[in-house]
């Protein structure tokens, strides 16, 4: 609910268990009052009488006012949200003023506000597909204007009360007749209570994404960022913040935020000597440039933020539910594949699982055949995949143009007759006959110099004239600042989708940028993202049954922006179960299990060379959207039966993993083991999963109390053979937990299905 008190000019944004308040002051500036948890179930508004003490009286500390929008000019010694250059002098020029240009000073004053229900941030999906929850949401739009220069900025706050989430974005408008240069633009600034200085974030690299890091913010500035045309492996645009020692997994006040944007980004955390903490998030300032032409507008994407007092777990669950309900598109059920006669039937045989919003079980042949694909070996893999219960078969790299290895072919999106002499039709019909959907890998933003596309259009690659073009994985990036390039790629993908029954594409992006020279100049940073989003939006609008996986050398394009137009993400190229445990834990801080594609691959892992038992590999992969990446041709009948048994088990628990609330009962850094629980919101079913990363001899593992169950209900705990291992009340499970036989073995895992007994109360 949004409440405005016209007497004190105070805004209250009231969410389920938090409140955000700000006030227009006597000089018409919009200043932040407070953001934090509030007593649940209590009615009440903040009058605006109470204000924080700020030290802005001292001559060196006069810029500490908590403006909702920090602008360069008003503020020069600290980080700002907006910096602009005005090229026009005021007319008349005040007496005594010299005609310096450009004027680099923005002062924004309150003009008006409105509450609307249909507002959207910049780069909101335009595919037209619904989200699971389409209930309208209130957005507060507060218009501020510079009293002298022709710039209007509207601050937008869209409320999702159930998850205590506010989406913040800015809408800029040049109301004059000369261009305005914008030099820095974040999507919003957050003022946190003094001392909120313990930061949780993730860092990483290729095959080591989402490594959780905790740190105490220094006095000064700490920045997490990635400078490229995708979100990046090195960091991910989300954070959790709390007072040191005052929050843990299920307790304490935690502030959280994430950017809904997949380009060059920055989150900047500032702590003043006064312990005041500010967070700024949005477009990366490096090489940023935005010209706001006369009369033009610019809408930023959203900085999604929230606060709760249920610890990091509470913050994650809010982000997960928000993503599932409000961000992920719901694909329309596709043309049913033929009913399978060879494998155990899932609850929704003959319909893509996307129709239920749950992700289907995927087989991807990349690690099985790499570039050695033939029609025959793919058909054989597909037959084996169908027989073990797979629902979606994805053909990876190597099917197009001259792509016989990773040195050529990108850009030529036509089926290679060398590999598929009869096109993809024979493979796809067989996949469909087997009852599976068909998926295809593409890497649309790229071009190999050894390709027909590059030979025809070398000028289409990003470059600076007269300067070298640095290749990475033998490839260059197409200039999505050119409309004709974006259209070419759209048309190439459109032709494939029109010709073949393709239900799924894996959209890859396998390098960071260098030489970002484009026909649109510095605007390429946003134009590239808009180009990618635009192609996906057009494809999804035209093929509403299509589902998409976002991949960038594993997990380098995962964020709330891309999730608005994709259904799942490839978490990491590293499929080693124990490495995955850590990657998945970091991932789970912000993103839900439903989108976290996780494959079971070979016993001896291709990336790390380590061997893990099949049970461990399944225990880890079943924590997300299960996929299989192992070569099924290398497995004997007994092993294939084991695979089938795990897949059948996963189908029984999928709705809980992909739709339940996550509780991280035990985290790696505390126990060298990870125990998690997914619980359906009504407490009727849960999945308990424990994996021991490294066990110390002589150490006994504690029983871990469960959460989210109904204390008075009786539950049975089933293993993958549906054998009841335990019967206990919710009370017992939530006070004591489940005793394990996992002592003494590193790499040991266990997954159990917990089900409420109908008559148990
Ligand atoms: C990237 C992806 C892999 C695979 C290869 C194909 O590395 O992350 O899953 O698709 O490209 O070249």
Coil, strand or helix: which one is 588?
Answer: helix
Shortest-distance atom of ligand 1 to CA 551: 8
Residue whose CA is at the smallest distance from ligand 1 atom 2? 553
Residue 742 confidence class, pLDDT cut points 50, 70, 90: low
Distance between Cα 632 and ligand 1 center (Å): 19
Domain ranges of the chain: 2-327, 357-545, 664-756
The mean pLDDT of 707-730, rounded to a whole number, is: 97
Pocket of ligand 1, beta carbon within 6 A? 366, 396-397, 406, 441, 508, 510, 551, 553-554, 570, 573
Beta carbons of 354 and 332 less than 8 angstroms apart = no
Residues 6 or more apart whose CB falls under 8 angstroms from that of 41 comprise none
Strand partners, 550: 507, 569
Handedness of CA 568, 574, 577, 582 (dihedral sign): negative
Rg value, the chain, Cα: 27
Residue whose CA is at the smallest distance from ligand 1 atom 12? 397
Cα distance between residue 346 and residue 372, in whole Å: 32
Distance between Cα 568 and ligand 1 center (Å): 15
Coil, strand or helix: which one is 570?
Answer: strand
> How confident is the model over 340-395, as pLDDT tens digits?
443 343 333 334 444 467 999 999 999 999 999 999 999 999 999 999 999 999 99
* 664-756 CATH choice from 2.60.15.10, 2.10.109.10, 3.40.470.10, 2.60.40.1180: 2.60.40.1180
Distance between Cα 415 and ligand 1 center (Å): 18
Cα distance between residue 231 and residue 551, in whole Å: 11
Q: What's the pLDDT score for residue 340?
A: 46
67, 412, 573, 619: the active-site residue: 573
Please, what is the angle between helix 425-433 and helix 375-388, to 10°? 10
Beta carbons of 608 and 578 less than 8 angstroms apart = no
- Residue showing tokens 């001896």: 604
Q: What's the pLDDT score for residue 702?
A: 84
Q: Report the range of poorest mean pLDDT among 372-381, 476-485, 750-759.
A: 750-759
Shortest-distance atom of ligand 1 to CA 573: 8
Distance between Cα 640 and ligand 1 center (Å): 25
Distance between Cα 434 and ligand 1 center (Å): 25
Catalytic status, residue 67: no
Coil, strand or helix: which one is 411?
Answer: coil
The mean pLDDT of 682-686, rounded to a whole number, is: 98
Cα distance between residue 271 and residue 200, in whole Å: 15
Handedness of CA 740, 742, 747, 751 (dihedral sign): negative
Q: What's the pLDDT score for residue 697?
A: 79
Edge-to-edge strand order for the sheet containing 10-14?
Answer: 2-5, 10-14, 18-24, 30-37
Residues 6 or more apart whose CB falls under 8 angstroms from that of 283 comprise 184, 185, 186, 187, 261, 263, 264, 265, 266, 300, 525, 526
DSSP 385: H
Q: What's the pLDDT score for residue 220?
A: 97
- Residue showing tokens 């850590």: 582
Q: What's the pLDDT score for residue 739?
A: 86
Cα distance between residue 135 and residue 482, in whole Å: 37
Shortest-distance atom of ligand 1 to CA 554: 8
Q: Report the range of poorest mean pLDDT among 4-18, 31-45, 123-137, 222-236.
A: 31-45
> How confident is the model over 294-321, as pLDDT tens digits?
999 999 999 999 999 999 999 999 999 9
At 642, phi and psi to the nearest 5? -60, -45
C-alpha distances in Å from residue 370, one per residue of 143, 405, 448, 496, 528 = 55, 9, 18, 21, 29
Q: Residue 129 is encoded by which pair of tokens?
A: 């597909």
Cα distance between residue 289 and residue 34, in whole Å: 32
Q: Residue 579 is encoded by which pair of tokens?
A: 């490495």
The mean pLDDT of 632-649, rounded to a whole number, is: 97
Residue 60 confidence class, pLDDT cut points 50, 70, 90: confident
What DSSP element (H or E) covers 169?
Answer: strand 165-174
Beta carbons of 550 and 562 less than 8 angstroms apart = yes
DSSP 223: E
Our mutation pick for probing the ligand 1 site, out of 397, 504, 630, counting the most ligand atoms within 8 A of Cβ, is 397
> How confident is the model over 409-448, as pLDDT tens digits?
999 999 999 999 999 999 999 999 999 999 999 999 999 9
Distance between Cα 409 and ligand 1 center (Å): 15
Beta carbons of 241 and 255 less than 8 angstroms apart = yes
Residue 552: name the closest of 328, 262, 257 by CA. 262
At 259, phi and psi to the nearest 5? -95, 135
User: Does the domain spanning 357-545 belong to CATH 3.20.20.70?
Assistant: yes
Distance between Cα 554 and ligand 1 center (Å): 7
User: Does the domain spanning 2-327 belong to CATH 3.40.50.720?
Assistant: no
Residue whose CA is at the smallest distance from ligand 1 atom 7? 553
Distance between Cα 162 and ligand 1 center (Å): 37
Distance between Cα 70 and ligand 1 center (Å): 42
Q: What's the pLDDT score for residue 695?
A: 83
> How confident is the model over 510-544, as pLDDT tens digits?
999 999 999 999 999 999 999 999 999 999 999 99
Q: Residue 554 is encoded by which pair of tokens?
A: 């594993």
In the 3-class helix/strand/coil scheme, how is 199-214 assigned residue by residue? EEEEECCCCCCCEEEE
Q: Residue 205 is encoded by which pair of tokens?
A: 């690299």
At 2, phi and psi to the nearest 5? -115, 125
Q: What's the pLDDT score for residue 57?
A: 63
Distance between Cα 510 and ligand 1 center (Å): 7
**β 297-299/265-271 pair status:** unpaired
The rounded mean pLDDT for the chain is 94
Beta carbons of 733 and 715 less than 8 angstroms apart = yes
Strand partners, 282: 186, 266
Beta carbons of 271 and 151 less than 8 angstroms apart = no
Catalytic status, residue 573: yes
Q: What's the pLDDT score for residue 700?
A: 76
Shortest-distance atom of ligand 1 to CA 552: 8
Distance between Cα 124 and ligand 1 center (Å): 27
Shortest-distance atom of ligand 1 to CA 441: 10
Whether residue 572 is predicted with pLDDT greater than 50 in this model: the reply is: yes
Shortest-distance atom of ligand 1 to CA 506: 10
Residue whose CA is at the smallest distance from ligand 1 atom 6? 397
Distance between Cα 508 and ligand 1 center (Å): 7
Our mutation pick for probing the ligand 1 site, out of 440, 474, 553, counting the most ligand atoms within 8 A of Cβ, is 553
**β 18-24/297-299 pair status:** unpaired
Our mutation pick for probing the ligand 1 site, out of 206, 404, 508, 583, counting the most ligand atoms within 8 A of Cβ, is 508
Residues 6 or more apart whose CB falls under 8 angstroms from that of 715 comprise 686, 709, 727, 728, 729, 730, 733, 754, 755, 756, 757, 760
Whether residue 335 is predicted with pLDDT greater than 60 in this model: the reply is: no
Between 713 and 671, the more confident residue is 713
Beta carbons of 306 and 166 less than 8 angstroms apart = yes
Whether residue 278 is predicted with pLDDT greater than 80 in this model: the reply is: yes
Our mutation pick for probing the ligand 1 site, out of 362, 366, 406, counting the most ligand atoms within 8 A of Cβ, is 366
397, 508, 537, 579: the active-site residue: 508
Q: What's the pLDDT score for residue 357?
A: 78
Handedness of CA 635, 640, 646, 651 (dihedral sign): positive
Strand partners, 86: 103, 180
Q: Report the range of poorest mean pLDDT among 55-59, 278-282, 285-289, 586-590.
A: 55-59
Handedness of CA 452, 453, 457, 461 (dihedral sign): negative
The mean pLDDT of 190-198, rounded to a whole number, is: 97
> How confident is the model over 3-52, as pLDDT tens digits?
999 999 999 999 999 999 999 999 999 999 999 999 988 889 999 999 87
Residue 369: name the closest of 390, 355, 384 by CA. 384
Beta carbons of 549 and 581 less than 8 angstroms apart = no
Residue 59 confidence class, pLDDT cut points 50, 70, 90: confident
Residue whose CA is at the smallest distance from ligand 1 atom 1? 553
Strands (DSSP E) contained in 109-164 are: 109-116, 139-145, 151-160
Cα distance between residue 109 and residue 707, in whole Å: 48
Q: What's the pLDDT score for residue 671?
A: 86
Q: How many residues does the chain have?
A: 761
Residue 673: name the closest of 737, 756, 591, 717 by CA. 737
Distance between Cα 194 and ligand 1 center (Å): 44
Beta carbons of 499 and 543 less than 8 angstroms apart = no
Whether residue 760 is predicted with pLDDT greater than 60 in this model: the reply is: no
Shortest-distance atom of ligand 1 to CA 553: 8
Q: What's the pLDDT score for residue 741?
A: 66
Q: What's the pLDDT score for residue 121?
A: 98
Q: What's the pLDDT score for residue 401?
A: 97
Strand partners, 55: none
């Amino acid at each position: 609910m949004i409440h405005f008190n016209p007497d004190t000019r105070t805004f209250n944004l009231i969410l389920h268990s938090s409140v955000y308040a700000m006030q227009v002051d006597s000089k018409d500036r919009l200043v932040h009052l407070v953001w934090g948890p509030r007593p649940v179930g209590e009615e009440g508004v903040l009058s605006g009488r109470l204000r924080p003490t700020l030290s802005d009286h001292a001559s060196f500390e006069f810029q500490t006012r908590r403006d909702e929008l920090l602008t360069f000019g008003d503020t020069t010694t600290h980080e700002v949200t907006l910096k602009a250059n005005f090229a026009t002098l005021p007319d008349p020029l005040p007496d005594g003023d010299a005609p310096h240009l450009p004027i680099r000073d923005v002062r924004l004053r309150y003009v008006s506000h409105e509450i609307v229900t249909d507002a959207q941030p910049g780069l909101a999906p335009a595919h037209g597909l619904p989200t699971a929850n389409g209930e309208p949401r209130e957005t507060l739009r507060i218009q501020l204007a510079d009293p002298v220069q022709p710039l209007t900025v509207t601050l937008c706050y869209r409320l999702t009360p159930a998850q205590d989430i506010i989406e913040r974005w800015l809408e800029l408008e040049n109301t004059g007749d000369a261009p305005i240069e914008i030099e820095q633009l974040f999507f919003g600034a957050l003022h946190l209570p003094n001392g909120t200085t313990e930061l949780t974030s993730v860092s990483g690299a290729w095959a080591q994404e989402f490594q959780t890091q905790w740190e105490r913010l220094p006095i000064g500035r700490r920045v997490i960022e990635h400078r490229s045309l995708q979100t990046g492996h090195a960091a991910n645009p989300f954070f959790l913040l709390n007072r040191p020692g005052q929050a843990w997994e299920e307790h304490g006040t935690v502030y959280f935020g994430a950017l809904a944007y997949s380009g060059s980004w920055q989150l900047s955390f500032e702590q003043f000597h006064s312990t005041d903490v500010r967070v700024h998030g949005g477009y990366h300032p490096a090489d940023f440039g935005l010209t706001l032409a006369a009369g033009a507008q610019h809408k930023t994407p959203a900085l999604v933020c929230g606060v709760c007092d249920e610890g990091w777990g509470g913050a994650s669950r809010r982000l997960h539910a928000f993503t599932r309900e409000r961000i992920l598109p719901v694909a329309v059920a596709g043309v049913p594949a033929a009913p399978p006669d060879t494998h155990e039937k899932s609850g929704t045989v003959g319909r893509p699982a996307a129709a239920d919003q749950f992700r289907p079980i995927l087989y991807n042949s990349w690690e099985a055949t790499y570039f050695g694909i033939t029609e025959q070996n793919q058909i054989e893999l597909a037959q084996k995949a169908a027989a073990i219960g797979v629902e979606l078969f994805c053909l990876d790299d190597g099917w197009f143009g001259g792509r016989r290895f990773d040195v050529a072919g990108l850009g030529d999106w036509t089926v290679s007759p060398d590999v598929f002499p009869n096109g993809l039709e024979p493979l796809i019909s067989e996949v469909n006959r087997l009852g599976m959907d068909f998926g295809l890998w593409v890497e649309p933003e790229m071009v190999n110099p050894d390709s027909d596309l590059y030979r025809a259009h070398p000028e289409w690659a990003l470059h600076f004239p007269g300067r070298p073009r640095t290749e990475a994985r033998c490839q260059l990036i197409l200039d999505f600042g050119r409309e004709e390039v974006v259209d070419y790629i759209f048309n190439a993908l459109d032709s494939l989708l029109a010709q073949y029954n393709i239900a799924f594409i894996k959209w890859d992006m396998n390098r960071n940028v260098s030489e970002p020279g484009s026909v649109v100049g510095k605007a390429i940073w946003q134009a590239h993202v808009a180009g990618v989003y635009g192609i996906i939006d057009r494809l999804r609008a035209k093929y509403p049954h299509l589902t998409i996986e976002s991949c960038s050398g594993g997990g380098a394009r995962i964020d709330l922006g891309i999730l608005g137009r994709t259904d799942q993400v490839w978490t990491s190229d590293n499929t080693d179960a124990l490495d995955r445990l850590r990657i998945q834990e970091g991932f789970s801080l912000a993103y839900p299990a439903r989108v976290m594609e996780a494959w079971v691959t070979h016993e001896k892992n291709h990336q790390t060379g380590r061997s893990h038992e099949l049970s461990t590999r399944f225990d880890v992969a079943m924590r997300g959207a299960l996929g299989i990446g192992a070569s099924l041709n290398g497995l004997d009948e007994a092993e294939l039966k084991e695979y089938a048994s795990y897949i059948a088990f996963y189908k029984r628990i999928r709705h809980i993993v992909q739709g339940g609330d996550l509780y991280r009962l035990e985290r790696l850094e505390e126990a060298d083991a990870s125990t998690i629980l997914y619980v359906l919101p009504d407490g009727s079913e849960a999945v308990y999963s424990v994996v021991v990363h490294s066990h110390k001899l002589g150490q006994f593992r504690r029983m871990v109390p469960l959460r989210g169950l109904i204390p008075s209900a009786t539950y049975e705990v089933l293993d993958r053979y549906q054998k009841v291992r335990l019967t206990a009340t919710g009370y017992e499970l939530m006070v004591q937990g489940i005793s394990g036989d996992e002592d003494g073995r590193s790499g040991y895992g266990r997954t159990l299905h917990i089900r409420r007994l109908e008559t148990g109360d």
